[in-house]
Amino acid sequence: MSYFCAMNRLPHALIDWFGKRGWALHPHQQAMLDRAGDPATLLVAPTGGGKTLAGFLPTLAALTAAPRPGLHTLYVSPLKALAADIRRNLSTPIAEAGLPIRVEDRTGDTSYTTKQRQRADPPHILLTTPESLALLLSYPDAPRTFAGLERVVVDEIHALAESKRGDQLMLGLARLQSLCPGLRRVGLSATVEDPPALARFLARHPDRCAILTADPGPEPDIAMLDVPDRPPWAGGGGRHAIPAVLDAVRAHRTTLIFHNTRAQAEIFFHHLWLANEDSLPIGIHHGSLAREQRLKVEAAMAAGQLRAIVATGSLDLGIDWGDVDLVIQVGAPKNVKRLVQRIGRANHRDNAPSKARLVPANRFEVVECVAALAAVRDHDLDGEPRGPGPRDVLCQQILIAACAGPFDADALFAEVTSAGPYAALSRQAFDACLDFCATGGYALKAYDRWQRLMQRPDGLWQLRDPRAARQIRMNVGTIQDTDTLKVRMRGRGGTPLGEIEEGFAATLTPGDTFLIGGEIVRYEALRELTVEVTRSHSDRPRIAAFMGTKFATSTQLSARILDMLSHDDWPDLPGHTRRWLHLQREMSRLPRADRLLIESFPHEGREHTCVYGFAGRNAMQTLGLLVTGRMEAMGLHPMGFVASDYAVLIWGLDRLRDPAPLFQSDNLRDGFETWLKGNAVMKRTFKAVAHVAGLLDRRSAGARKSGRQATFSSDILYDTLVRYDPDHLLLQITREEALKGLVDFGRIEEMIARTRGRVDHVIADHITPLAAPLLLEPSKVPVFGAAQERLLADAAARLIAEAGLPD
């Protein structure tokens, strides 16, 4: 009892320290102190609401009232940088108020000796990431390291819950809870659409979890940026808005300019800099830049030296950079929740409203931005419900458990199902994962002698070869790195600039120029997996291809857009966009939520068909692949297609007369099953699943091989499994992942359910207003199959002829 009293009262030294700064506790911070003894608490608060401090207050109170050695509180955040930032922020009050508390961080950047020492002599508060926690739990001395642990604080839990990192973390917490049964959990989240779901994710199943909601502050000041020039018909760069953006930067202290992709951020930054006649200090920040470059920008930002930063999702989270007073979002936000979180990056110090301006990058995005503004005003956040915990992460957890020591399968099953995401896991599914880890889980039993895990006579499972633990530890984690190459300035100790994808690097020849970190560089040579470049003065650089996520417009936002299109008129829209929609209605029809609009028209000697599915980019891309597959079977000779968030446009030799059979759900689903097996998306997904589940090593103990004939592509393994073991666990997982991710078939099904075969087929004499921008979209997809062989034959003949060789 006395213990909890201590936990909900702040130490006097800290109260004094607060007092000197004129700070008082926010109600949600006091509420966290009051609930210090609860098994689980979720705090939902806007950025900068002092939520991180709220998470730590009970710890500071308890450790001051009853000082003791050993680990007391574990803090987990999605970013290494955030852990370091929190260490600095916590250290100040602790030092100045003279509290007897030691705080340290532990991430991939922490030195080996520090890590060793931390395992034997942990600090009171340890700040870390899900991956570093998983590693700590894989050591046999984990019970000693975590002895006495009382609290765990999960920061930015909404972001972690969006990926497998969150599933891994919850399995880690389940393990911690077994080691420290009294462990209490706190989750800190930005505004989300479904807090109870996040609370179930966090809490030990079936513990209850209170949800505290901080005062969201005043309503944001959010509108379209006033741009005199019209946005272009297609594209995503937002270049037309550069003068207006520069004016806005001049009128504010610090502006964050968000883009949806790294490539767009690079192009925009380049042109912004060309137009920046007053030489305003402006930086760029995204995930493909070298760490040194990013740190430099972050330091300049923290010191208030920058007037603007062009950024991507890498700045969505965390690091507290006080003085931002304007957020500009270039391009449609795609997702209302992320927009709200980005808006929150502005003005969060005082109680002023956050100010944000949207810049639609093309004509259709004007409609989407207006719909998103309305959604923000209505507090209508979007989000897909989280599926059950993925089984590849569970496989990795089983291997991690085996690294820590022999385990009992029943006990591990009980532990795993206490994690929210795995609460509904069946014993059968668990056993299949255990069998995969032990024997490979193949229909053909080939590895009796070489099992990875074996069962001892006493029934416990252990690694057959204890040396395997090292390799398993090296591959802990669920983050997928794409194959990238580092880019450096040529010469001794050349500055690292960032990374480009291997695929893009392969298309470069010496002399080619491209943009990275806002600089134009010239490709010189590839030396030991590093791309060497020099500065260039070219004014037509190519754009480096970055993997980055391509967000699809959310279901909820798409529904709002369809609703808008059903209005008679659009007084909220700028004149150009309003006239465009009226013209579409005169020439064809406007898409409706309950009907599927399909237009067919000739254009430049080809027959075109445009399908307005409004299912988001990934699903529309899948629909394009499926429909062209069927059209090829029908002899319509499709030649290619291009997909956007709202439509797919297909071109080919023959006109589509009756689209209805193409879109019957049975037809689509049958075609889908066959198509899916051979799809490149499946192979890419399989590779990721195989890495997480531990079939393939992402990193091996030796250095990266230079001669690569010894390694072979995971595509071969995928093809082999599909042919000989189609029901294998990893293929089941791959299919589940692909369905919700890049393939997104679920949204095609949603589209079919919403339109129920009600197809409006408009045959027009020429291209329609709404279809026109699609022709300008990049990333057109050629239809392959027999076509790739024909292309290869043509290419071979051409190369032979060019070389002057006899055929």
Of 143 and 640, CB closest to another protein: 640
Tokens of 665: 């759900």
List beta partners, residue 298.
none
Of 3 and 450, CB closest to another protein: 450
Tokens of 399: 């291997």
Question: Whole-angstrom distance between the N-terminal and C-terminal Cα of the chain?
Answer: 91
CB of 456 to another protein, least distance (A): 18
**Closest Cα to residue 662, out of 588, 715, 609, 618?**
609
Q: Is residue 637 a contact partner of residue 672, using CB atoms and an 8 Å limit?
A: no
Interatomic CA distance for residues 489 and 39, integer angstroms: 53
CB of 674 to another protein, least distance (A): 18
Of 456 and 708, CB closest to another protein: 708
CB of 138 to another protein, least distance (A): 16
Give the full edge-to-edge strand order of the sheet including 606-612.
759-763, 596-603, 606-612, 648-652, 638-643, 781-782
Of 444 and 753, CB closest to another protein: 444
Of 223 and 801, CB closest to another protein: 801
Q: What are residue 363's phi and psi, to 5 degrees? A: -60, -40
CB of 442 to another protein, least distance (A): 6
Of 571 and 707, CB closest to another protein: 707
Of 24 and 795, CB closest to another protein: 795
List beta partners, residue 258.
311, 329
Interatomic CA distance for residues 182 and 146, integer angstroms: 12
Interatomic CA distance for residues 688 and 676, integer angstroms: 17
Interatomic CA distance for residues 663 and 598, integer angstroms: 11
CB of 527 to another protein, least distance (A): 10
Of 433 and 695, CB closest to another protein: 695
Interatomic CA distance for residues 484 and 499, integer angstroms: 6
Q: Is residue 162 a contact partner of residue 385, using CB atoms and an 8 Å limit?
A: no
CB of 524 to another protein, least distance (A): 7
CB of 450 to another protein, least distance (A): 4
Interatomic CA distance for residues 807 and 685, integer angstroms: 40
Of 573 and 696, CB closest to another protein: 696
CB of 461 to another protein, least distance (A): 15
CB of 807 to another protein, least distance (A): 9
Interatomic CA distance for residues 594 and 321, integer angstroms: 45
Of 384 and 512, CB closest to another protein: 512
Q: Give SS3 for 738.
A: helix
Tokens of 505: 């690097």
Name residues whose C-beta falls within 8 Å of residue 410's C-beta, 6 or more positions apart in sequence. Answer: none
Interatomic CA distance for residues 215 and 52, integer angstroms: 15
Q: Is residue 447 a contact partner of residue 206, using CB atoms and an 8 Å limit?
A: no
Strands 210-213 and 40-44 come out as parallel
What is the helix (H) or strand (E) element at residue 222, kind and residue range?
A: strand 221-224
Helix and strand counts by DSSP (H, E) for the chain: 31, 27
Of 200 and 522, CB closest to another protein: 522
Of 429 and 781, CB closest to another protein: 781
Of 510 and 661, CB closest to another protein: 510
Of 674 and 711, CB closest to another protein: 711
Name residues whose C-beta falls within 8 Å of residue 737's C-beta, 6 or more positions apart in sequence. Answer: 390, 685, 688, 689
CB of 730 to another protein, least distance (A): 9
Of 91 and 475, CB closest to another protein: 475
Of 120 and 506, CB closest to another protein: 506
Q: Which one-letter DSSP state was computed for residue 663?
A: G
Interatomic CA distance for residues 428 and 431, integer angstroms: 5
Hunting for tokens 């009382």 — which residue is that? 150
Name residues whose C-beta falls within 8 Å of residue 228's C-beta, 6 or more positions apart in sequence. Answer: 244
Interatomic CA distance for residues 250 and 242, integer angstroms: 12
Binding site for another protein (CB under 8 A): 439-440, 442, 444, 446-447, 449-450, 452, 464-465, 468, 471, 506-507, 509-511, 524-525, 695-697, 707-713, 716-717, 720-721, 723-725, 728, 782, 788-789, 791-793, 795-796, 799-800, 803, 805
CB of 722 to another protein, least distance (A): 10
**Closest Cα to residue 401, out of 388, 389, 414, 390?**
414
Of 84 and 639, CB closest to another protein: 639
Interatomic CA distance for residues 638 and 359, integer angstroms: 35
CB of 688 to another protein, least distance (A): 17
Hunting for tokens 């953006």 — which residue is that? 245
CB of 444 to another protein, least distance (A): 6
Q: What are residue 210's phi and psi, to 5 degrees? A: -70, 150
CB of 599 to another protein, least distance (A): 26
Q: What are residue 534's phi and psi, to 5 degrees? A: -125, 165
CB of 679 to another protein, least distance (A): 15
Q: Give SS3 for 114.
A: helix
CB of 237 to another protein, least distance (A): 20
Interatomic CA distance for residues 258 and 343, integer angstroms: 10
CB of 393 to another protein, least distance (A): 19
